[in-house]
Amino acid sequence: MPLFGSKKKISDGLEKTRTGFFARIANTLTGSEIDDDLYNDLEEQLILADVGPESAVRLVDELRDQVEAQHLRTGQQALDALREIIRLEISPEADMDLSGRPAVILVIGVNGVGKTTSIAKLAHFYGRRKRVLLAAGDTFRAAAGEQLELWAQRAGVPLVKAGEGADPAAVIFDAVQSAAARGYDMVIADTAGRLHNKKGLMDELGKISRSVKKAAPEASLEVLLVLDAITGQNAISQAQEFCKAAGATGIILTKLDGTPKGGCVVSVKRKLGLPIRFVGVGEQIDDLIPFSGTDFAEALLPGLPAHEAGEGEA
């Protein structure tokens, strides 16, 4: 069955992952008897797909339990069970908090992971339904403001910007205050790239978060940490420190189109204790997908008809 809309976008964005390591996982399951060799192969392949060793062991243990408890006999049944295990593993427990007036989304992360591009995509995504204002909180890197200004124009969304070297907390304060006064629904704020071990820069993120509440007591705040899927498990290990220091509430996983090892999707939530909210699958303004556990589990390990259709392409 051909896929349409966002399902097609997910499937295309995950193409390298799906037709690479996860296709092998699906083939291993559907082509073998369920025995110890199969579980060992599966664990190895999950690790190769960058699911991470701990998650790989846990997924395989869980699968083994379910196969026994439910008396599953065929590889196809085991595949369906694994898809469901992955779905539960990655699904967010609740939606993002966008209840405030305005709803503020602060975007943070290390250098070059795709923060500014993701903000442009978020502006495009929310701008169709809400009144969105952007805040150019990266006052550190030369030309960062101009880069965001260009994206803001493309997304058709206004921008609050100050000169290079301005205090980012002040820029974001102004944006939130002006959004509240002018009836905007949402403020999406950029920040300069930083490493978690630079204490001064990490403290600055705390100051920015506090400035949001000061600017508008009715504001809600989501702090989305951007991770680059190409660096996969390494990015997740580094992010553990980052999350603690910066009070992140969710993850944007970018560049999933650029890696066959998209398995890190599976371990982000458990390892960081934070749900993935959006996934980047390209450099264009509409290459951002709101994260759904069901859709991603299905895209990684398609059910039988899509899988058979997919085999011809691989």
Ligand X SMILES: Nc1nc2c(ncn2[C@@H]2O[C@H](COP(=O)(O)OP(=O)(O)OP(=O)(O)O)[C@@H](O)[C@H]2O)c(=O)[nH]1
Give whichever of 73 and 141 is closer to ligand X, judged by the CB atom.
141
Least CB distance to ligand X at residue 256 (A):
6
Given Mg ion, ligand X, none, residue 258, with its beta carbon under 5 to 8 Å by kind, binds ligand X
Q: In this structure, how many other beta carbons lie within 10 angstroms of the beta carbon of residue 143?
A: 10
Least CB distance to ligand X at residue 225 (A):
11
The yes or no reply on residue 116 touching Mg ion (CB under 5 A) is yes
Least Cα distance to 151 among 287, 51, 30 occurs for: 287
Give whichever of 9 and 115 is closer to Mg ion, judged by the CB atom.
115
Given Mg ion, ligand X, none, residue 208, with its beta carbon under 5 to 8 Å by kind, binds none
The yes or no reply on residue 115 touching Mg ion (CB under 5 A) is yes
Residue ranges in contact with ligand X by CB under 6 A? 109, 111-117, 138, 141, 144, 193, 254-255, 257-258, 280-283, 287
Give whichever of 146 and 218 is closer to ligand X, judged by the CB atom.
146
DSSP run (H or E) holding 70: none
What is the SS3 assignment for 226? strand
CB 299 within 8 A of CB 265: no
Angle in degrees, CA 51, 96, 145, rounded to 5: 90
Give whichever of 144 and 301 is closer to Mg ion, judged by the CB atom.
144
Least CB distance to ligand X at residue 233 (A):
18
Least Cα distance to 190 among 85, 256, 111, 273 occurs for: 111
Task: Identify the sign of the CA torsion 278, 282, 287, 293.
Answer: negative
- Interface with Mg ion by CB under 5 A: which residues? 115-116
